[in-house]
């Protein structure tokens, strides 16, 4: 497989389902205005990386409808390569999600993605996107939850990328409304065999373990012994930790006024992968990751508040500063 003439290979390839996103200002049952955007964990990461100056490609399927047009238009406008995105011509629609704020920063999400174009993702949709020169394949545990073909696409891509020497990043990103923990474990463990960089929150680690009830230190040792090069554990407001065979590195979260927690994990991943692409050491990667996550929680939307590279230092300015 080759990269089209005149185009540089993407540094990162990711794929999954990106949906139309309707965001309410209050409880949905009370009605009111809804704002329309797009959302999807993988495309959130893709946008975050593009804003940080990286070449990134998103592959996936959208419906031949207005929401599908919105998805592709938004990603292209954000500098994401969609040359391997497919428009489904079988009548499957673009998926939809609705978000509603409930208590403080607690948000409830409702999905309408059964039978969607994105759920029909198959290996043939994603393998051509892995062109030579790609440095990272980014996967999430959301895609395998969509369908058997989507799970097959994730495993096939991880296998092909690993064999080609591409770093495979798996963000567990568990969605309890999509599948059970046991189903997730069955699907994710085969992908783990090809994973170089595993990212998970504390409660997601058991989903990739044969024996899920072991304490975190033993879980990490097991994963590293199985061939995972780095294990990144997200701890929310308490920051994150990175475990390698040689060291453990902890980093506190950056302190900001939290407005919307949706998308914070994807922002963290974008920052961490950006640091990896720049050959930064682990502390510097973590610093960038918690910085991009802070931008996400301080602004509304899944990806809208993500920073560009030159904006990363804004959090270092004193509160109340006006940048002129």
- Please report whether residue 259 resides in a domain: yes
Q: What is the DSSP letter of 200?
A: E
Residue 293 Cα distances to 61, 104, 140, 197, angstroms: 27, 18, 17, 18
Q: Residue with structure tokens 């499957």?
A: 92
The confidence score (pLDDT) of residue 2 equals 42
The confidence score (pLDDT) of residue 109 equals 85
The confidence score (pLDDT) of residue 157 equals 98
Q: What is the DSSP letter of 76?
A: H
- Please report whether residue 109 resides in a domain: no
The confidence score (pLDDT) of residue 22 equals 93
| N-terminal to C-terminal alpha carbon distance within the chain | 48
The confidence score (pLDDT) of residue 7 equals 64
- Please report whether residue 319 resides in a domain: no
- Please report whether residue 100 resides in a domain: no
CA distance 280 to 277: 8
- Please report whether residue 20 resides in a domain: no
Domain boundaries, position 165 = 40-94+114-307
Hey, how many other C-beta atoms are within 10 angstroms of the C-beta on 310?
9
The confidence score (pLDDT) of residue 129 equals 97
- The residue among 20, 35, 233, 202 whose CA lies nearest residue 117 is 20
User: If you compute the radius of gyration of the chain from its CA atoms, what whole number of angstroms results?
Assistant: 19
197 in Cβ contact with 172 (< 8 Å): no
Q: What is the per-residue DSSP string for 144-187? A: HHH-HHHHHHHHHHHHHHHHTTPEEEEE----TTT--HHHHHHH
Ranges of the chain with pLDDT below 50: 1-5
- Please report whether residue 62 resides in a domain: yes
CATH of the domain at 86: 3.40.1190.20
- Please report whether residue 74 resides in a domain: yes
Which listed residue (88, 171, 266, 302) is catalytic? 266
232 in Cβ contact with 242 (< 8 Å): yes
- Please report whether residue 64 resides in a domain: yes
- What domain count does the chain have? 1
Catalytic residue status for 281 = no
């Amino acid at each position: 497989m080759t990269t089209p003439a005149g185009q540089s290979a993407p540094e990162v390839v990711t794929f999954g389902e990106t949906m139309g996103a309707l965001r309410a200002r209050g409880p949905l049952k009370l009605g009111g205005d809804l704002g329309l955007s797009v959302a999807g964990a993988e495309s959130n990461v893709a946008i975050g990386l593009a804003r940080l100056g990286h070449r990134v490609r998103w592959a996936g399927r959208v419906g031949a409808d207005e929401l599908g047009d919105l998805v592709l238009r938004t990603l292209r406008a954000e500098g994401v390569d969609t040359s391997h995105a497919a428009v489904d011509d079988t009548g499957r629609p673009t998926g939809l999600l609705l978000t509603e704020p409930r208590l403080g920063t607690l948000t409830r999400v409702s999905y309408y993605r059964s039978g969607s174009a994105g759920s029909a993702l198959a290996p043939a949709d994603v393998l051509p996107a892995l062109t030579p020169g790609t440095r990272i394949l980014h996967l999430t545990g959301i895609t395998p939850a969509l369908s058997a073909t989507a799970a097959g696409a994730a495993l096939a891509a991880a296998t092909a990328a690993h064999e080609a020497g591409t770093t495979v990043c798996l963000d567990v990103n568990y969605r309890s409304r999509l599948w059970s923990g046991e189903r997730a474990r069955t699907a994710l463990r085969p992908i783990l065999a090809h994973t170089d960089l595993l990212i998970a929150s504390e409660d997601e680690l058991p989903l990739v373990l044969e024996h899920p009830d072991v304490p975190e230190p033993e879980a990490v040792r097991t994963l590293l012994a199985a061939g995972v090069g780095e294990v990144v554990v997200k701890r929310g407001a308490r920051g994150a930790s990175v475990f390698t065979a040689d060291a453990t590195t902890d980093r506190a979260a950056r302190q900001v006024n939290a407005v919307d927690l949706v998308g914070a994990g994807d922002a963290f991943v974008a920052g961490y992968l950006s640091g990896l692409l720049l050959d930064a050491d682990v502390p510097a990667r973590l610093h960038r990751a918690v910085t991009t996550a802070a931008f996400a929680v301080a602004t509304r939307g899944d990806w809208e508040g993500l920073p560009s590279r030159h904006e990363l230092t804004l959090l270092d300015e004193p509160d109340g500063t006006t940048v002129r």
